[in-house]
Amino acid sequence: MAAFLRSRREALRPEDVGLAPGARRRTKGLRRDEVAVLAAMSTDYYTRLEQRRGPQPSEQMLSAVARALRLTNSERDYLFQVAGRNTPSPTSTATHVSPALLRVLDRLADTPALILSELGETLVQNGMAEALFGDASRYKGLARSGVYRWFTDPDERSHYPEDDHARQSRMLVANLRAAYGSMGTRSRAGELVRALEKTSEEFAALWARQEVSRRFEDHKTLIHPELGPLEVDCQALFTEDQSQVLLVLTASPRSEAEEKLKLLNVLGHERFPTTDPHPN
Domains, the chain? 2-82 (1.10.260.40), 99-271 (3.30.450.180)
What per-residue confidence (pLDDT) applies to 87? 80
pTM: 0.71
Q: Is 228 helix (H, G, I), strand (E, B) or coil?
A: strand
Q: How far apart (Å, rounded) are the C-alpha atoms in residues 119 and 129?
A: 18
Q: Which of 92-106, 113-127, 133-147, 220-234 has the lowest mean pLDDT?
A: 92-106
pLDDT in tens, 133-157: 988 888 989 999 999 999 999 999 9
Q: How far apart (Å, rounded) are the C-alpha atoms in residues 235 and 171?
A: 16
pLDDT in tens, 121-132: 999 999 899 999
Q: Which of 12-16, 51-55, 89-93, 235-239 has the lowest mean pLDDT?
A: 89-93
- Give the residue among 124, 237, 217 at the shortest CA–CA distance from 172: 217
Q: How far apart (Å, rounded) are the C-alpha atoms in residues 5 and 151?
A: 41
What per-residue confidence (pLDDT) applies to 265? 84
What is the amino acid identity at position 165? H
pLDDT in tens, 239-250: 887 889 999 999
Q: How far apart (Å, rounded) are the C-alpha atoms in residues 34 and 65?
A: 11
Q: How far apart (Å, rounded) are the C-alpha atoms in residues 241 and 221?
A: 29
- Give the residue among 63, 67, 33, 37 at the shortest CA–CA distance from 50: 33
* Residue 273 confidence class, pLDDT cut points 50, 70, 90: very low
- Give the residue among 61, 99, 94 at the shortest CA–CA distance from 80: 61
What per-residue confidence (pLDDT) applies to 278? 46
Mean pLDDT within 209-232: 87
pLDDT in tens, 170-200: 999 999 998 888 888 888 899 999 999 999 9
What per-residue confidence (pLDDT) applies to 67? 86
The pair phi, psi for residue 256, each rounded to 5°, is -65, -40
Spell out a b/e string for 147-166, using b for 16 or more CB atoms within 10 Å of the CB, else e. bbbbbbeeebbebbeeebee
